A and B are shown apart, each in its own frame.
Chain A
Amino acid sequence: MKKDTILLGIETSCDETAVAIVKNGREILANVVASQIDSHKRFGGVVPEIASRHHVEQITYVLEEARQQSNTVWEDIDGIAVTEGPGLVGALLVGVNAAKALAFAKQKPLIGVHHIAGHIYANRLEKEFEFPLLALIVSGGHTELVLMKSHGAYELIGETRDDAAGEAYDKVARMLQLPYPGGPQIDRLAELGEEAIDFPRAWLEQNSYDFSFSGLKSSVINTIHNAKQRGKELRKEDIAASFQASVIDVLTTKTVRAAKEFDVKQVIIAGGVAANRGLRSALEAEFAKTSIPLLIPPLNLCTDNAAMIAAAGTIAFEQGRRSGLELNARPSLLLK
């Protein structure tokens, strides 16, 4: 009988310090996330130096909490998985060095994991993968369409050429003077508003699966500005609804088209913006018209966590991939 594989995962790429322990890439034994959102609120966004400071203060507490939650002993742990990139370099460095120290102290294999691979594998904690599958990753730092034909093999078929979707949300929220983080605020307002303004959709070239949100962002700025000059006040709810409609329209249309073109068996939504209710219901409605199952993980697995890193790391571990003690933080690591 094959022994269970239990991995400890560490994630510190942005503003959450997270440690998790996962069995066979599917079963969460512990999942601890220390969020820093309150300390970045006053700055209106994540400040890299402050995020890094928090990580070094939190890391052993979070490790301790995860170990206690999991009821495991060190002998049970087969390896240490850690986000090596992409992300904020100073933030990543804390996790990477903690992981290396752990791997060395306990003489365990070390596995560097790509953050986006983690977001995708968050779904495997809920449901086993069926290939080929398509993943749409939407977060503050990412808007990507990834095709997977087998475990651990990632094919980037579309990505943003400028702002990530979550970034556009944050910028529009700031214009509307909504508190940080802006995404959920816009989602909330959008439910109350009407799609009264026809904001542009960036479809790009006919067959492209790439995204672009900077034109939309400028259009929102100009619309607000012009209305003000004419002494007209636009309803925030309507701006939010119209902006969100444009984002969702492009994300949904391209995802459905790619799912059909590549004849996938599953579509996975990953990343913090997957928590957006407007996006969820639009995708659910569109995929209900097809026979392709749509998977969206629960909120706590959409946002950054370490269970997803341990889950993705488990596949790499089983495929024999190991990192050396010279493993470094790689802020612009590509998904391969």
Chain B
Amino acid sequence: MNILAIDTSNQVMSVAIQQNEQIIGEINTNLAKNHSVRLMPAIDQLMKDIGLMPDQLEQIVVAKGPGSFTGVRIGLSTAKTMAWALNIPIVGISSLEVLAYQGRFFNGLICPFFDARRGMVYSSTYQWQGTIMEEIVPESNISMEDLLNKLKAYDKPVLFLSPDMHIHQEAIERIVGINAMIPEPTYHLPRASHLILASKDKPIDSTHTLTPNYLRLAEAEAKWLEQQREKQANE
């Protein structure tokens, strides 16, 4: 089966193709450059290198967030429209889950996160049970302090994975202490090939209803809801 995987949800842009159970090509960049400009040419290049025509694709896997709202939408607009046009199945995978695959052989807790500004992160925590990656702490948009205190209480080694490590490394070491494992930079970058791996035991999504996993309301909406709550409280 020919599978195309796309991740543009954060600074890393990654595209991979699997054929006959083998990853035969992957393009990765870790650049703060416009994903919208570079994504389609990267897919085109990879397909040409492999000698694959678009109508030979049989499945698409896409990272659906959390991450940059715009980045997530670039990936989903592209993946959904391709899946619709080619009439092939699509699977959406959490961007945190795919990053956690970089800790495939770690025995303790695995905590991938993306910076969400003002001390907040998008994060979740996993642990491998044999060949299954189990979710220990569900995905949330949480303050880093709260997250680290929660993880500290487990009193277990925690592998932290994040392209935004430089922002939070100090807090991790301060709060989690010797239980905190922070690997080399290579391991902090999500890879589209892992999206395909993660999609294996996942159900097929409906192309029309697959939506971004923002983990956060639009600011205007959050404010509006807050106002409604205040209004109700005053009544």
Which residues does A use to contact B, with CB under 8 Å? 42-43, 47, 49-50, 52-53, 55-57, 59-61, 63-64, 74, 89-90, 93-98, 100-102, 104-107, 324-329
Contact = CB atoms under 8 A, between A and B. Distances in A.
B34 interface: yes
B40 A325 contact: yes
Given A49-B218, A56-B212, A59-B77, A104 B82 contact: yes
A42 B221 CA distance: 10
Contact of B82 (A52, A74, A101, A327): A101
Contacts of A326: 37-38, 40-41
Contact of A107 (B54, B81, B211, B219): B54
Contacts of B40: 97, 100-101, 104, 325-326
B80 to A, nearest CB: 5
Nearest to A90: B70
B78 interface: yes
B74 interface: yes
B36 A98 contact: no
A326 B41 CA distance: 6
Interface string B19-49: 0000000000000001011111101100000
Contacts of A104: 40, 43-44, 54, 82
B117 interface: no
B166 interface: no
A101 B8 CA distance: 14
Given A93-B36, A97-B36, A102-B85, A325 B41 contact: yes
Given A53-B73, A106-B85, 19 more contacts: A43-B224, A50-B221, A53-B69, A56-B212, A59-B81, A60-B84, A64-B208, A97-B39, A98-B80, A100-B40, A100-B78, A101-B78, A104-B40, A324-B41, A326-B37, A327-B37, A328-B36, A328-B37, A329-B36
14 contacts: A49-B218, A52-B69, A56-B73, A64-B208, A93-B36, A97-B39, A97-B73, A97-B74, A101-B79, A101-B81, A104-B43, A106-B54, A107-B53, A328-B34
Given A50-B221, A52-B73, A325-B41, A96 B212 contact: no
A57 B76 CA distance: 9
A59 B224 contact: no
A327 B78 CA distance: 13
Nearest to B55: A105
B211 A56 contact: yes
A105 B40 CA distance: 10
Contacts, number: 109
Nearest to A95: B77
A105 B81 CA distance: 9
B207 interface: yes
A47 B36 CA distance: 21
B220 interface: yes
Contacts of A325: 40-41, 44
Contacts of B34: 328
A42 B74 contact: no
Contacts of B37: 326-328
Contacts of A57: 211
A100 B85 CA distance: 11
Contacts of B43: 104
Q: B84, B208, B214, B224 — which one has the most chain A CB atoms within 10 A of its CB?
A: B84
Contacts of A324: 41
Given A53-B212, A93-B36, A93-B73, A47 B85 contact: no
Contacts of A96: 36
B167 interface: no
Interface string B46-90: 000000011100000000000001100110111111101110000
Contacts of B53: 107
B77 A101 contact: yes
Contacts of B77: 55-56, 59, 93-95, 97-98, 101
